[in-house]
Amino acid sequence: MGPGDRPSGIQQGDIIGCDSDLIGPYGYAHDISRTWMVDGTPDDRQRRLYAACFEHVHRNMELLKPGLSFLELMEKGFCYSAELAQQNFTTIFHGLGLENEWPINMSPDKLHIPGAYGGGYDGELEVGMTLCIESYAGETGGPDGVKLEEMVLITEAGAVPLGLTPYQGGLA
């Protein structure tokens, strides 16, 4: 069954995602995403997509340390399997704070695209920077996908998550 072959509206067993880009007082930005199961038990495909997306966010979070260049960050970033790579985002990290999306960092599997990096942003991670680790897992032609994003603060010890919204344990 494809997306056009079912009743409209959210149904039991669907997964829904929310990407919460918010601009608050004095221009402060906040950006997290979560995906939830609607009153049901996830099937194996939904669990697999959620697990892949969760792993993508958390393995990439482990990379974030002061002194890492933006290019190194892109080159070392965790990639999805070939099955999921066609639908993933072009970016895996982006900055956030008073300026949204700077620096934008491409997924390692997208660096071969002409102009995708184009010299990119020169720089390195510094203590006090905020970044978002962004991930989407979905199959080409699939009925749905999973979107997760975590906002982190770069500290001397690495990345510290800033989001207070829990992950959906039943999907993982």
Domains of the chain: total: 1
pLDDT in tens, 108-159: 555 555 555 444 566 789 999 988 898 888 888 888 889 999 999 999 999 9
Phi, psi (rounded to 5 degrees) for 78: -70, 135
Longest dimension (CA), the chain: 51
Mean per-residue pLDDT over the chain, rounded: 79
CATH of residue 125's domain is 3.90.230.10
Would you say residue 24 lies in a domain?
no
Range list of H helices, the chain: 44-63, 70-76, 82-85
Per the domain annotation, does 29 fall within a domain?
no
Average pLDDT over every residue of 79-84? 74
| Least reliable range by pLDDT among 13-22, 40-49, 149-158 | 13-22
Tell me if 35 is assigned to some domain.
no
- Sign of the Cα torsion 116, 80, 82, 45 reads negative
Does residue 101 sit within a domain? yes
Place of tokens 């892949």: 52
Is residue 149, in this structure, part of any structural domain at all? yes
Question: What pTM value is reported for the model?
Answer: 0.81
Judge whether 144 lies within some domain: yes
Per the structure, the complete domain to which residue 128 belongs is given by 42-161
CA 56/CA 50 separation, integer angstroms: 10
Mean local confidence (pLDDT), 92-113: 62
Asked if residue 33 is part of any domain, the answer here is no
Kindly tell me the burial class for residue 77, based on how many C-beta atoms sit within 10 Å of its own C-beta (0-12, 13-18, 19 or more). Answer: buried
Neighbours of 2 (CB within 10 A): 8
pLDDT of residue 13: 84
